[in-house]
Amino acid sequence: MITIRPIKALRPDPAIAQDLVSLPYDVLDSDEAREKSLGNPYSFFHISKPEIDLDPSLDPHSPEVYAKGRENLQRFIRDKTLIRERKPCFYVYRLIMDGNVQTGLLACVSIEDYEAGRVKKHEHTRVDKEDDRLRHIQTLNAQTGPVFLMYRHREEVQSLIEAQTASQPLYDLVKEYGIRHILYRVEETGMVRKLQSLFRGIDALYIADGHHRSAAGVRAGQDRRKNNPKHTGDEEYNSILAVIFPHNQLRILDYNRAVKDLAGRSPEDFLSAVGERFEVKTHEAQPSGGKAFHPPCPTRFGMYMGRTWYELSARPGTFNAADPIERLDVSILQNNLLSPVLGIGDPRTDKRIHFVGGIRGLQELERLVDGGQYRVAFSMHPTVIDQLLAVADAGRVMPPKSTWFEPKLGSGLIVHMLDE
């Protein structure tokens, strides 16, 4: 049984929403966010990545950074850049990318569902990243970016959500990569209760993107619950901001890898070592002119080195096809190449490996290698939704950087204040 709540939200003045809404805080690094916000006083990065307004030499996790985020948020409220809703509402959030449409419910989800395991995870989190978002939430007294959740599709739930798009949208924006963001308000009391009732019939939600945001939101709520002698369970800190989509509408793109060196091997020795566990052949450029290799199916990989693309196919017996973790392509590559050949034992902490989301294209892998920053890069076949669900249902976790969901949620469309 999933408990959702409407939000008495902060949201942008429609006149400046196009300039305000930004990518999630963790998609760009500080320098990229600083450049993207240059000359734009409304960019939500001033709140989600407030280090862009301070000296670049300052540690982005210093107290001054979080204090600057709070200052910026209060200024946005004071100047009515962000306006307060008159009553708690749900919202329907529609994303359109390359003709693919996904429509979800923007709501608050009870942290008790997370604590009870009804909000299921598929990744480990890093304490330092959790702590960063926890300090951000605590200092700003707000959750500024929603968690991306999904549920196993139910027609009666999704039909009711889709029906809300017959109204006039609050926002209809086209942002990075041509992605269209449309937001509708659901404020009628009967409809709010109907949606709550339907979600009470759902057994579980799954985190698609935002493991650190959700963990930090839960920790913030637990801290306030512990320190509030008058705690009732109805306070805003008892829930996390989320958008909930049906699983059958979502897209996972490839999550590719680049490595800085060949672990002391020559290119010839490296290719020989790779060939022990993969069939290796040189990839022929396509007649259309594209030379990159996009793996057409699981257990196949592209490898770029020395301005040449290679096709890799995992040899029989190199993985256990019955195990939901070992049969993932990210596991096959890690266990048969990255670890034994390149010496990358823990990709979560090894500084020699870099992860590249599929929306940046395989040309980004070529750029990294051709520029000399990295020696070799790998293109991956995307993880599929059913694999993620199977891992989460088994109570297990995927290897790091297994999934890149696209499109990303916009930050700044809805802000959840914790004292309302």
Chain segment 196-244, per-residue pLDDT in tens: 999 999 999 999 999 999 999 999 999 999 999 999 988 999 999 999 9
Rounded to 5 degrees, φ, ψ at 195 are: -65, -40
How does strand 10-12 pair with strand 82-84? antiparallel
Half-sphere exposure of 363 (CA within 13 A, CB side): 5
8 by DSSP, 3-state: which?
A: coil
> Rounded to whole angstroms, how far apart are CA atoms 218 and 361?
34
Whether the link from the prior residue into 399 is cis, omega within 30° of 0, is no
Question: What's the pLDDT at 118?
Answer: 97
Q: How confident is the model at residue 361 (pLDDT cuts 50, 70, 90)?
A: confident
* Residues 233 and 271 reside in one and the same domain: no
Residue 27 has a CB neighbour count (10 Å cut-off) of: 15
> Residue 291 corresponds to which amino acid?
K
pLDDT in tens, 365-387: 999 999 999 999 999 999 999 99
Contact 304, 356 (CB under 8 A): no
Q: Which two tokens stand for residue 268?
A: 């010839």
* Residues 271 and 211 reside in one and the same domain: no
Say if residue 288's pLDDT is above 80.
no
* Residues 103 and 86 reside in one and the same domain: yes
Rounded to 5 degrees, φ, ψ at 3 are: -105, 120
Q: Is residue 28 part of a domain?
A: yes
Q: Is residue 159 part of a domain?
A: yes
> Rounded to whole angstroms, how far apart are CA atoms 27 and 30?
10
* Residues 199 and 281 reside in one and the same domain: no
Q: How far is CA 359 from the centre of its chain?
A: 13
Question: What's the pLDDT at 76?
Answer: 98
When divided into structural domains, the chain yields a total of 2
Question: What's the pLDDT at 287?
Answer: 53
Cβ neighbors of 104 (< 8 A, separation 6 or more) are 92, 93, 94, 161, 243, 244, 245, 246
Question: What's the pLDDT at 289?
Answer: 52
301 by DSSP, 3-state: which?
A: strand
Q: Is residue 391 part of a domain?
A: no
Q: Is residue 393 part of a domain?
A: no
pLDDT in tens, 110-166: 999 999 999 999 988 889 999 999 999 999 999 999 999 999 999 999 999 999 999
Question: What's the pLDDT at 420?
Answer: 54
* Residues 208 and 347 reside in one and the same domain: no
* Residues 282 and 352 reside in one and the same domain: yes
* Residues 413 and 331 reside in one and the same domain: no
Find the mean pLDDT for residues 256-274: 97
Contact 243, 183 (CB under 8 A): no
* Residues 59 and 118 reside in one and the same domain: yes
Give the domain range for residue 311: 255-381
Report the mean per-residue pLDDT for the chain.
Answer: 95
Question: What is the sign, positive or negative, of the torsion defined by CA atoms of 85, 86, 92, 94?
Answer: negative
* Residues 261 and 239 reside in one and the same domain: no
Cβ neighbors of 1 (< 8 A, separation 6 or more) are 118, 200, 201, 202, 203
> Residue 257 corresponds to which amino acid?
R
* Residues 178 and 296 reside in one and the same domain: no
Q: What is the pTM of this model?
A: 0.89
Q: How confident is the model at residue 290 (pLDDT cuts 50, 70, 90)?
A: low
> Rounded to whole angstroms, how far apart are CA atoms 180 and 165?
14
* Residues 171 and 282 reside in one and the same domain: no
Cβ neighbors of 99 (< 8 A, separation 6 or more) are none
Task: Please calculate the CA angle 258-259-264 and round it to the nearest 5 degrees.
Answer: 155
